[in-house]
Structure 1
Amino acid sequence: MPPVAPVRRTAARLAALLIAALALGVVIAPLSPASAAAPAGLLAAPPGDHEGGTAALRAQLDTASKGWLDARAALNRSVSRQQQLAAQLKTINAELGVRDTKVGEIAAVAYRTGRLGTAAALLSSNSPEGFLDRAAALQQVAAHEDRALRDLIDTRDEATQTQAALNGEIQEQRKQVAVMAKRKQQAERALEVANNRPTTSTGGGSVQGTSRANATPAPRNADGSWPAESCSVNDPTPANGCITPRMLHALQQAKAAGFTRYVSCYRPSGSGEHPKGRACDFAAQKGGFGGVATGGDKTYGNNLAAYFIRNADPLAVLYVIWYKQIWLPSSGWKAYTGGNGDPSSDHTNHVHLSVY
């Protein structure tokens, strides 16, 4: 049997090491990028997936909002193309009228005068010089009439093709409108399942904000669609990590508009857009993510949410979550009750922004 004193000293040392390890774990565990390097006095977001709802819900909202934005961009392209084709068809029809009149005049002259055969016209010449002049004139008239007729036929063909393209654009628009309706239904159905009740529109007025600032649009493709982006730029918030260039743009625009309170973006764990660098949480309180925002802090959150909604199109907003509500580009404000009863998952202490 070993001596009692050494055993006690070993046990004491093990206990000390265990306490130190546990203490260290308490410090390390919450230091997800959402809370690392938070300034003194700030209440950083808790670790893990604290956005409320479920991974399935966020995947549905992500897919539905992306699909809706893609369909709207395609619809806008089609509408623009339709306008171009309509203007083109108007010009063609005007030209067609002119050419149709010209050919009609040629036909009328031929009917009144009767078409003299080429040989008869040439034989009526009184001299070799007259013969040659008459031959040249007849050739010029024939070429002019032939060109006028060909121009008329070409213009009619172009008008037919343009009208067909115009009809095609109208069909394309109907298709994209149907896709938008389907994506809207998908998002709202996902919220119904999550909220365990039918979604109801709040009329877009449940979050009253006074922000009137306009954001500089994020870069788009030439056709108006959003380019694919990866988590490729440094996250400038205390969360560190990475975000997409479009998320960085939205963050910078919000700060330029005066929304400069604590923000946390990248988070390696959980579901949704945070691990993809496409989401940021904007604290409503000056001290960071604290309790339920009230008074001036709630007003700050209202104004920030209103800013993102006002600039949803230039900033490629997928959705905004604030104060147990979610704003979707397809549907406006809807109830969002998937939280756990705490300020973070209920989004009563921060505004969540997700971008395309």
Structure 2
Amino acid sequence: MTTTPPRNPRGTRAAMSLAAVTTALLIGLPGTAQAEPGDDEVDIDELTQRAEELEESYDGELIQFTEIKGRVEQAEEDLEEVESRLDASRAGVSTIASAQYKNETGLDPALHAMFSSDPEEMFSDAATLSYLGQSQSEQISELIDTRDEAAEVAEGLRTEMADAEELIEDLEAQREDVEERIAEYEEEQVPETPGTGSIPDSAMGWGWSGATPRMAAIRDEIVMRFGAPYPVGCLRSSADDHGVGQACDFMMSSGGAIPSAENQALGTQISQYAIDNADRLGVKYIIWEQQIWQAGSWTWMSDRGDNTQNHYDHVHISSY
């Protein structure tokens, strides 16, 4: 009578435990939470539509929402890329598990007892990975790292989406008040040259005479109160408020340099003065030190690459 040799129980346990480890890594360990909106959640397209409906009420682009939307879209692209790498990494580790399961003697005997331990604890210990072959160790480590990266990107996306939704809700709540203020601004008689004879020539930068009456009034009041360490620029050819004379840049340094401590403090004073008097003056938004103020709150601006683009060397003020 022919008998089948008994299988090595420790070898079987080792091979199956490795499969269990990989299963834990593939499906059991915390991974990326779903970033797609559920039935009761908004998505960026819905928020964009709501923002577009608000633009007329706020007399133009909602620059804060545009910044957050850009970060949301970048996070979505990043998540898609990292999840693609995660899928590839999972496939590689799955191959390791399959090979070890089919070949019960393929493991170093020194690993048999180790593989009988708790899978999650075993592979959370970096020392354990050193017992594996280098290629296998690197593949499993890559899976763990990529899984964590995907979770971090997904969490960042959820945070940006929450910020975007909160911003739109705040703007919608203020909509009627803003519309009433804009109507009042349109009825006011603003002096065409409020600072004539009192503004030094050294303060008059590019496009000075092209500012609208309201923006000129804001500009001149600030210059007369705080001075101007560098020329103030207003009208220029651009797609933003500068292009229609509704914005001026109050320079705190030249050549793209970080301002001195004194001028940095001055820029902060100017931005705060514009905030404190926003309703009276008709200030639409302010940009200073990579932040945007609009409708009562500050929002971080995405990094645009240098001190000027990030508004560290000047305070940008736009008017209605």
Relative to the length of structure 2, the TM-score reads 0.42
Query: Which of the pair has more CA radius of gyration?
Result: 1
Structure ranking higher on relative contact order (CA contacts 8 Å, 6+ apart): 1
